[in-house]
Amino acid sequence: MNRQAAFKKNKPFLKGALHCHTTRSDGSGTPEEVIRLHHEEGYNFMALTDHNIFNHVNHADVPMTMLSGIERDMGMPGPAQDKPICIHVVGVGVPHDSRTPGQDVKAEWFGDHEDCKDAQQMIDEMHTWGLKTIYAHPEWSCTTYQDFKDLKGNFGMEVWNTGCVMDNGLDDNAPYWDEAWDDGNEMWGVATDDGHPMNQHCKGWVMVSSDNDAASILDALEKGEFYASCGPEIYDFYEEDGRVVVKCSPVKSIQFVTLRYPLRKWYAEEGATMTEAYSDPPKGTRYVRATVVDALGRRAWTNPLKIR
């Protein structure tokens, strides 16, 4: 059996937030308020990723495993000059790693540039700080895959960003993810909130199969041992004898995708739900991913499963 990495370990699934803002930069909630809200919503871990300032600590008196966090950005001329608006990269790490700048240290803004490739220097610097990086909100940034395809070293990209969905109707269902995989840039897909006002928090998250400590969580994220969700739960995703199967909480539809092509889509009958579906991908299919949608329209995404 060929099982996607998230479902191999028999570890508990931990709910986590990887992109959050507070009053430390341009968010409306204090760090204490934001952490407390996530605790109340059942989160196990999170990172405060305020713009160009490091956080390593838990500002609230509630249980929460904290990751180091920061968001950095590079400005660009924008669509009036036939260019993207910006490049944003989120960094998460193990708190108080000796390589990482300390609590409240401000990272210098990377500045304005003409070429998206210039952001590689910013990403490389974040890696020297011991951070793992995520390419943020590609649609909101006015980038296509052709713009950011040469940026290397990001373990993941945002396939859902709550703030961009609520404010702009963008970054809502894995834009460009399949282009990346088709190009051999096998980034994992994360759902985040990028919450600025308080009502944008706790609507998109990752479920990570891991022990509940920062180093284990980060290792699992890098290995793709997680799925992304805005509500539904995914219990298993595997290939056996050429058939790909997903099992999940009750949903209204299940779709199997490769290279944006819908291999198969299942719909529950009116008034009913489903908890399992399958696809028989054609021979030569390189990978399959699944998207499930519940009765409220909320999605969850498996990470891609390479087909043997």
Q: What is the CA radius of gyration of the chain?
A: 19
Inter-residue contact 103 to 56 (CB < 8 Å): yes
Q: Are strands 154-161 and 132-135 parallel, antiparallel or unpaired?
A: parallel
CATH architecture of 2-227: Alpha-Beta Barrel (3.20)
For residue 278, what pLDDT band results from cuts at 50, 70 and 90? very high
Domain edges within the chain? 2-227, 234-306
- The torsion region of residue 271 among left (phi > 0), alpha (psi -120 to 50) and beta comes to left
Q: How does pLDDT run across 56-71, given as a tens digit for each residue? A: 999 999 999 999 999 9
234-306: CATH class: mainly beta
pLDDT of 308? 77
Q: Are strands 13-17 and 45-47 parallel, antiparallel or unpaired?
A: parallel
Selection from 227, 202, 197, 201 nearest residue 301 by Cα: 227
- The torsion region of residue 82 among left (phi > 0), alpha (psi -120 to 50) and beta comes to left
pLDDT of 10? 87
Rounded distance, CA 138 to CA 145, Å? 8
User: Is the predicted pLDDT of residue 109 greater than 90, yes or no?
Assistant: yes
Backbone angles phi, psi at 74, to 5 degrees: -130, 125
Q: How does pLDDT run across 128-151, given as a tens digit for each residue? A: 999 999 999 999 999 999 999 999
Contacts 24+ apart (CB under 8 A), 169-173: 170/137, 170/139, 170/140, 171/137, 171/138, 171/139, 171/140, 173/291, 173/299
CA distances from 23 to 44, 108, 198 (A): 22, 19, 11
pLDDT-above-70 percentage for the chain = 100
